[in-house]
């Protein structure tokens, strides 16, 4: 049907006419019950999955022939299955045989595909990046000759061109006229149409060599496989490679493009299953988790080359493991991922932390807000240049980091349109796209670790503007972060001495990158990942190797789903109620909100998951409260005020604005028309608001439209 390898055909000892009988006996011996179930489930189930391992156990030579000549076997298997159902009295069904669980030597990444693989049955491990709409395609076409009314049936193996008859064949009873002397009309009702969809697969990030652009392959899914995949889905696609000539200037060239005709799909988004953990590693993970010093060990294993920052690293450790997402009875969902914002002066190692976290997290992705658009971060509807200009969905960094971590540097440098798309991605953890007739929702169940710099270059501690308003981020977006760390670069003799010594020592320990690439020196990053013994002291790890830490996180997330026990629940509720009763320095101050309550429980669940426990205890609740207290205190001191974050104004400023509005409205009511500016300033001074400050506040309120000057500069009126 497509490009076949003749040498393999010649060697094959199984004749093509013998295949349907072999398939029939296999189905009768091993799959009679499955075929019966298929007939009962029709049309919800349209195909029968057959494991290659079972075929191999049944007949090794037959199994090998499937890999070498898949097209013949697919036809024979489908024919045998339909005959089986016909004999059982189910004559109108047209199901398909799908072969799954191919041997490991048939699994390829996209960049490993070569000419030898063409025409063979192979499996590709990849992530779906783009899908087109599902369209009908001609499988076999019936043409009618207008001269004599004779019909001709033609198979349509090529999805890119329609094959028409060259003549009305006399042998079949036609008039014998060639194409140029008659016209052939397609009889749509008599032709066989099937569903077809173009899918683009991209190799997985963990399979890529550093710094190389990931390769992609265009695939065709047909029949019941069309419409099964969404962008961002990780999948093992089994199928047959075929080729189409590249065209230049309207002519075919001898260089070919490779496509995959998908035969079957396996494994869609099983959480973190791409990380394989051996039994020995599983026992080692459990041993580390039992150690009472596991929290210190894990905290020390996060970016060991960066000095200090113990509390920040502790929160990043909890973010790696994450809480448990919950689905409620009413269909609503509470996220389990912990979002962290690092706000810091330049040069405090924010980007280094982000890079490190994206490498140790399973499914970690790194993006920069300055060089990423909203489509690059979330998802996009793009007009495809290859498939007839139709619109397709393309997944962005957050969708590809599903069930992992997305580290976004320069978060404040994104433009306003791009940032607005982050709201839904962070809280509802999905992306809704409505564009060019495509209405889709993609999942972004990933933790977000973002970094932002102050707009004025450095943070101004003595200012009426709170720290959260000194970065270019809208308050609603800031409030979506569970933890906000303030990282200021303030001179301190003792800590500066330690940091300087640590940085210089780290540089001295490093190896020359040029010599490592030339092969003169061993790669230190690889030796630490593999040489576990070198990292152990007295049989215990000093710092966990990067690969082992990634496996630890994947194992904990896959196997353990902690919930708060009664004591932990009571502890968090008591802390929340007690904090709510504390007032700030303003009447409208709110010390803590319900969103923070969810963050506390997420942190406690992550703490329990590190110990490989199914229940979060009082100790876990205390850890989450201690971390929350720490970042809140560093950000705002004793009187933490959520209203300041949500409004972008300190309590003192809000009080002064409120007082000025009160003064103007009282004087306005007394005079019956408008308040006099001099009277307003005199009253403001009596209430301890300096004259210059009062004038600034009045100007700002007039600009905001909350106050106006009805008849000249000296008159004021509340709007």
Q: What is the pLDDT of residues 17-40, one digit of tens each?
A: 677 778 888 877 777 777 778 777
Residues 6+ apart with CB under 8 A from 337: 319, 322, 323, 325, 429, 445, 446, 447, 448, 602
pLDDT in tens, 330-363: 878 888 888 998 888 887 778 888 888 888 887 7
Q: Which domain holds residue 321?
A: 313-491
Per DSSP, the residues of 144-199 read EETTT--EEEEE---TTS----SB--TTTT----BGGGS-EEE-TTTSEEEEEEEE
Q: Are residues 450 and 462 in the same domain?
A: yes
Where among 491, 509, 538 does a domain terminate?
Answer: 491
**CA atoms of 429 and 406, how far apart (whole Å):** 12
Where among 491, 516, 542 does a domain terminate?
Answer: 491
Instruction: Give the chain's domain count.
Output: 5
Q: Are residues 487 and 346 in the same domain?
A: yes
In a domain, 138, yes or no: yes
* Higher local confidence (pLDDT), 535 or 619: 619
pLDDT in tens, 366-423: 887 665 655 567 766 676 655 456 666 667 777 777 778 888 888 877 766 666 777 7
Q: Which residue has the tokens 């199901």?
A: 95
Q: Are residues 575 and 687 in the same domain?
A: no
Where among 624, 647, 670 does a domain terminate?
Answer: 647
* pLDDT value at residue 24: 82
* pLDDT value at residue 336: 85
Residues 6+ apart with CB under 8 A from 250: none
In a domain, 1, yes or no: no
Q: Are residues 480 and 612 in the same domain?
A: no
| Residue range 76-87: mean pLDDT, rounded | 80
In a domain, 501, yes or no: no
pTM, rounded to two decimals: 0.68
pLDDT > 70? residue 84: yes
Q: How far is CA 709 from the centre of its chain?
A: 53
* Structure-derived torsion over alpha carbons of residues 71, 76, 78, 84, reported in degrees to the nearest 10: -170
Locate the DSSP E strands across 480-590: 483-487, 536-537, 540-541, 563-564
**CA atoms of 482 and 260, how far apart (whole Å):** 44
Q: Are residues 376 and 346 in the same domain?
A: yes
**CA atoms of 213 and 379, how far apart (whole Å):** 19
* pLDDT value at residue 273: 63
* pLDDT value at residue 464: 61
Q: Are residues 708 and 589 in the same domain?
A: no
* pLDDT value at residue 267: 65
Q: Are residues 165 and 89 in the same domain?
A: no
In a domain, 542, yes or no: no
* pLDDT value at residue 128: 82
Q: Which residue has the tokens 């979002």?
A: 339
pLDDT in tens, 537-556: 545 677 888 888 888 888 88
DSSP 412: G
C-alpha pair distances (Å), 420 with each of 269, 331, 645? 27, 25, 18
C-alpha R_g of the chain: 33
In a domain, 210, yes or no: yes
pLDDT in tens, 132-185: 777 888 888 888 888 787 888 888 777 777 888 888 877 777 787 887 777 888
Q: Are residues 175 and 89 in the same domain?
A: no
Q: Are residues 459 and 335 in the same domain?
A: yes
In a domain, 533, yes or no: no
Q: For position 585, which CATH number holds?
A: 1.10.8
In a domain, 117, yes or no: yes
Q: Are residues 117 and 39 in the same domain?
A: no
In a domain, 307, yes or no: no
Q: Are residues 25 and 43 in the same domain?
A: yes
* Higher local confidence (pLDDT), 668 or 386: 668
Q: Are residues 317 and 465 in the same domain?
A: yes
**CA atoms of 152 and 155, how far apart (whole Å):** 10
Contact 351, 203 (CB under 8 A): no
Q: Which residue has the tokens 């300096």?
A: 690
């Amino acid at each position: 049907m497509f490009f076949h390898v003749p040498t393999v055909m010649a060697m094959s000892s199984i004749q093509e006419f013998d295949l349907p009988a072999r398939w029939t006996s296999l189905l009768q011996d091993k799959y009679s019950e499955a075929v019966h179930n298929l007939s009962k489930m029709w049309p919800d189930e349209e195909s029968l999955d057959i494991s290659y391992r079972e075929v191999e156990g049944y007949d090794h030579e037959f199994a090998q022939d499937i890999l070498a000549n898949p097209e013949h076997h697919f036809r024979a298997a489908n024919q045998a299955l339909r005959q089986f159902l016909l004999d059982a009295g189910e004559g109108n069904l047209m199901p398909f045989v799908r072969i799954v669980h191919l041997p490991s030597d048939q699994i390829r990444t996209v960049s490993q595909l070569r000419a030898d693989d063409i025409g063979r049955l192979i499996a590709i491990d990849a992530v779906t990046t783009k899908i087109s709409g599902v369209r009908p395609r001609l499988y076999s076409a019936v043409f009618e000759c207008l001269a004599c009314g004779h019909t001709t049936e033609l198979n349509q193996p090529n999805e890119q061109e329609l094959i028409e008859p060259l003549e009305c064949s006399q042998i079949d009873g036609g008039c014998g006229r060639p194409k140029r002397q008659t016209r052939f009309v397609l009889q749509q009702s008599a032709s066989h149409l099937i569903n077809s969809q173009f899918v683009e697969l991209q190799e997985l990030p963990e399979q890529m060599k550093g710094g190389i652009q990931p390769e992609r392959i265009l695939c065709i899914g047909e029949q019941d496989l069309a419409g099964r995949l969404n962008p961002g889905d990780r999948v093992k696609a089994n199928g047959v490679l075929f080729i189409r000539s590249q065209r230049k200037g309207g002519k075919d060239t001898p260089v070919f493009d490779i496509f995959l005709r998908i035969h079957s799909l396996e494994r869609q988004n099983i959480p973190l299953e791409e990380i394989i953990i051996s039994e020995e590693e599983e026992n080692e993970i459990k041993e580390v988790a039992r150690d009472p010093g596991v929290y210190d060990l894990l905290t020390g294993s996060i970016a060991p080359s960066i000095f200090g920052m113990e509390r920040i690293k502790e929160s990043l450790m909890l973010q790696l493991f994450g809480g448990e997402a919950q689905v409620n009875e009413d269909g609503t969902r509470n996220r389990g991922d912990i979002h962290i914002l690092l706000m810091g002066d330049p040069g405090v190692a924010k980007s280094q932390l982000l890079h490190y976290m994206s490498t140790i997290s399973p499914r970690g992705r790194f993006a920069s807000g300055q060089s990423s658009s909203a489509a690059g971060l979330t998802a996009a509807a793009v007009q495809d240049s290859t498939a007839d200009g139709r619109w397709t969905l393309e997944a962005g960094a957050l969708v590809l980091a599903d069930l992992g971590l997305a580290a976004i540097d320069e978060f404040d440098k994104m433009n306003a349109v791009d940032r607005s798309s982050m709201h839904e991605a962070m809280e509802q953890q999905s992306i809704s796209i409505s564009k060019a007739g495509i209405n889709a929702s993609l999942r972004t169940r990933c933790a977000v670790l973002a970094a932002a710099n102050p707009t004025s270059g450095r943070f101004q501690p003595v200012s009426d503007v709170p720290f959260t308003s000194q970065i270019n981020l809208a308050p609603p977006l800031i409030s979506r972060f569970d933890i906000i760390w303030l990282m200021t670069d303030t001179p301190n003799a003792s800590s500066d001495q330690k940091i300087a010594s640590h940085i210089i020592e780290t540089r001295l320990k490093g190896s020359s990158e040029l010599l490592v690439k030339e092969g003169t020196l061993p790669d230190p990053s690889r030796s630490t990942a593999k040489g576990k013994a070198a990292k152990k002291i007295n049989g215990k790890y000093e710092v966990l190797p990067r690969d082992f830490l990634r496996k630890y996180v994947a194992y904990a997330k896959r196997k353990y789903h902690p919930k708060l026990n009664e004591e932990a629940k009571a502890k968090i509720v008591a802390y929340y109620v007690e904090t709510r009763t504390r007032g700030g320095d303003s009447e409208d101050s709110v010390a803590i909100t319900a969103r923070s309550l969810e963050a506390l429980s997420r942190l406690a669940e992550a703490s329990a998951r590190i110990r490989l426990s199914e229940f979060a205890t009082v100790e876990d609740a205390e850890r989450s409260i201690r971390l929350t207290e720490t970042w809140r205190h560093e950000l705002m001191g004793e009187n933490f005020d959520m209203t300041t974050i949500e409004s972008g104004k300190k309590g003192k400023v809000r009080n002064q604005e409120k007082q000025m509005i009160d003064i103007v409205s009282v004087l306005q009511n007394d005079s019956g028309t408008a308040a006099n500016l001099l009277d307003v300033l005199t009253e403001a001074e009596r209430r301890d608001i300096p004259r210059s400050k009062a004038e600034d506040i009045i100007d700002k309120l007039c600009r905001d439209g909350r106050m106006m000057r009805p008849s000249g500069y000296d008159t004021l009126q509340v709007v």
